[in-house]
Amino acid sequence: MMIDFSPVILHVDMDAFFAAVETRNNPHLKGKPVVVGGALGGRGVVSTCSYEARKYGVHSGMPTGRAKQLCPQAIFISAGLKGYVYASACLQSIFERYTPMVQPISVDEAFLDISGTERKYNNPIDLVQEMKNEVWEKLHLTCSVGVSPTRYLAKLGSGLNKPNGLTILDHEKFREQFFPRPVDALWGIGESTKKSLAKKGILTVADLAKTDSKILKRIFGKNGDTLSVMSRGTDTGKVMRFDDLPHDKSMSHETTMRVDIQDPSLIRATILWLSDKVARRMRKKGYVGKTISVKIRSSDFKTITRANTIQRNTDRCDIIYDNALKLVPKEYGMKIKVRLLGVRVSHLKKIRNSRGERLHPEDNLQLELLEDVSEIQINKLTGAVDAIRDKYGENVIKYAGSMR
């Protein structure tokens, strides 16, 4: 296998990451169907499952109840995030031994740009093999790697030969392998896009690649271009290190209720709990924002979102809560049963870097004529609660109103 393209971009995807970590830690799970997910009794969803469980049709995102029906003998484990985060940090440092250009995408995925390593490795494949070996030796985990000239192709490539795969996918191979397949073989095309495309007679990836991007733009707006690029494998995105990544555009949190709720006080409590989560994360990462939105899914799976932009940027839970609550139509929680609630803050502005230093000192130059005493008090209180949480954990202190 020789590589004749540049740049050389890898997509490394850990195989059944959470399940693999659990199996590694508990060897008796080896060879058995393992399902890792949240809230086993209720309505949690599957985070990951081992390949043994996948044979029964279990997949991530599926309600755990459904997984239990499909594979009753599976071993269900509730996700223990700390172990995964540790393994993920180890992975990151292994990747960085091979190239500084590592872009983590999630706990178990990363893009690496290994262009320029030719002097050390004649063939980039040697590097990939060595890296895979190191991951196995140090962590006893396997990964699948896609090797391509673009990020998007690398991502598709890593999914082709799972588990423990190594796939080179250049443009030619992409056309060979993907063009005959239905459009949803592409990463990022789901059920609804597939349906809209089918209406226009676009069924395969080849059909999509042939379609003029102007036509796609008319149907899908901005996303039309993206579809075009995806189907032709022509994305030009660069691998970016974590520090160079663009700032977050929004922060959100959502939750599926254990049972559908029809009680306005529970709606309020949940919105408060979600607002607290979002506000806390914004403060941790140094963001303020001014567009607040809610997402509500009723028991009949109809989902609505409502948004409002306030005058001043904020990272305060009470302000996010007040505004989010106003956006929830009255009939929800009264006439209409609620299944899922979400709170999001967007139009974010980064005001502090990771060291806590202010990024825009000019924002604070205007002196106040009438100090907002309540604001000063709330900020002090929030600071104290944040400090307690940093030291003792998120759940040791919470709003009484958010108890559900």
Partner 1 sequence: MKFSLPKSRLTRYLQSVLSVVPAKSTLPILSNILLECLDKKLKISATDLDVTIMATIEADVSKKGSAVIPGRMLFDIVKDLPESEVTFEGTANRIELKVPNGSYKLGGVSPDEFPELPVVNIKKQVTVEAESLINMIKRTTFACSNDETRPALNGVLWQTKGDKMIMVATDGHRLARVSVENKKLKGLNDDVIIPPKVLDLIPKFISSDKDEIGIIFEENRIVFNLDDIVVSSRLIEGPYPNYEAVIPEKSDKKMVIARTDLASSVRRVSILSNSLTHQVKFGVKNNQLVLSTTNSDVGGEAKENLVCEYKGETIEIGYNAGYVNDILNKLESDEVIFELSTPVSAGLIYSTDISKEDYICLLMPLRLTE
Rg (CA), the chain: 24
Q: Please, which residues bridge with residue 13 across strands?
A: 109, 144
Of all helices (H) and strands (E), which one includes residue 184? none
Which DSSP state fits 243?
A: G
Does position 312 bind partner 1 by CB under 8 A? yes
State which of positions 359-378 bind partner 1 (CB under 8 A): 360, 362-370, 372, 375
Distance (Å, whole) CA 381 – CA 284? 15
Rounded alpha-carbon distances, angstroms, from residue 186 to 141, 152, 298: 26, 9, 30
Q: Which stretch binds partner 1 (CB under 8 A): 130-138, 155-163, 214-222, 305-313?
A: 305-313
Q: Which is nearer to partner 1, 209 or 319 (CB)?
A: 319
Q: Which is nearer to partner 1, 193 or 275 (CB)?
A: 275
Q: Which is nearer to partner 1, 29 or 288 (CB)?
A: 288
Q: How near is the Cβ of 318 to partner 1 at its closest, in Å?
A: 9
Cβ(293)–Cβ(344) below 8 Å: yes
First to last CA, the chain: 58
Q: Which is nearer to partner 1, 36 or 320 (CB)?
A: 320
Rounded alpha-carbon distances, angstroms, from residue 258 to 36, 63, 247, 301, 334: 18, 12, 33, 15, 18
State which of positions 373-402 bind partner 1 (CB under 8 A): 375
* DSSP three-state, residue 171: helix
Q: How near is the Cβ of 327 to partner 1 at its closest, in Å?
A: 11
Q: How near is the Cβ of 113 to partner 1 at its closest, in Å?
A: 32
**CB within 8 Å of 119: residues ≥ 6 apart:** none
State which of positions 159-198 bind partner 1 (CB under 8 A): none
Q: Is 109 a catalytic residue?
A: yes
Q: Which is nearer to partner 1, 119 or 312 (CB)?
A: 312
Angle value at C-alpha 128, between 122 and 134, nearest 5 degrees: 120
Q: How many CB atoms lie within 10 A of CB 240?
A: 15
Tokens standing for residue 93: 């440092």
Q: How near is the Cβ of 292 to partner 1 at its closest, in Å?
A: 12
Site mask for partner 1 (CB under 8 A), range 30-69, x = bound: ----------------------------------------
* Encoded amino acid at 387, one letter: A
Question: How would you list the strands of the sheet with 9-14, edge to edge?
Answer: 102-106, 109-113, 9-14, 143-148, 166-168
Q: How near is the Cβ of 248 to partner 1 at its closest, in Å?
A: 21
Q: Total residues contacting partner 1 (rule CB under 8 A)?
A: 17
Q: Which stretch binds partner 1 (CB under 8 A): 259-267, 274-282, 294-302, 307-315?
A: 307-315
Q: How near is the Cβ of 343 to partner 1 at its closest, in Å?
A: 18
Distance (Å, whole) CA 283 – CA 395? 17
Q: How near is the Cβ of 366 to partner 1 at its closest, in Å?
A: 5
State which of positions 193-222 bind partner 1 (CB under 8 A): none
State which of positions 318-357 bind partner 1 (CB under 8 A): 319
Q: How near is the Cβ of 356 to partner 1 at its closest, in Å?
A: 21
Q: Which listed residue (90, 310, 325, 385) binds partner 1 by CB under 8 A?
A: 310
Q: Which stretch binds partner 1 (CB under 8 A): 37-45, 90-98, 294-302, 308-316?
A: 308-316
Q: Which is nearer to partner 1, 100 or 383 (CB)?
A: 383
**CB within 8 Å of 291: residues ≥ 6 apart:** 250, 307, 308, 309, 310, 345, 346, 347
**CB within 8 Å of 224: residues ≥ 6 apart:** 213, 214, 215, 216, 217, 218
Of all helices (H) and strands (E), which one includes residue 306? strand 303-314
Write down the residue that tokens 């959470």 correspond to. Answer: 18
* DSSP three-state, residue 349: strand
Q: Which is nearer to partner 1, 375 or 394 (CB)?
A: 375
Q: Which is nearer to partner 1, 236 or 311 (CB)?
A: 311
Catalytic residue among 109, 134, 254, 394: 109
Rounded alpha-carbon distances, angstroms, from residue 171 to 4, 73, 125: 11, 43, 17
Active site residues: 109
In the complex, the residues that contact partner 1 under the rule CB under 8 A are 310-312, 314, 319, 360, 362-370, 372, 375
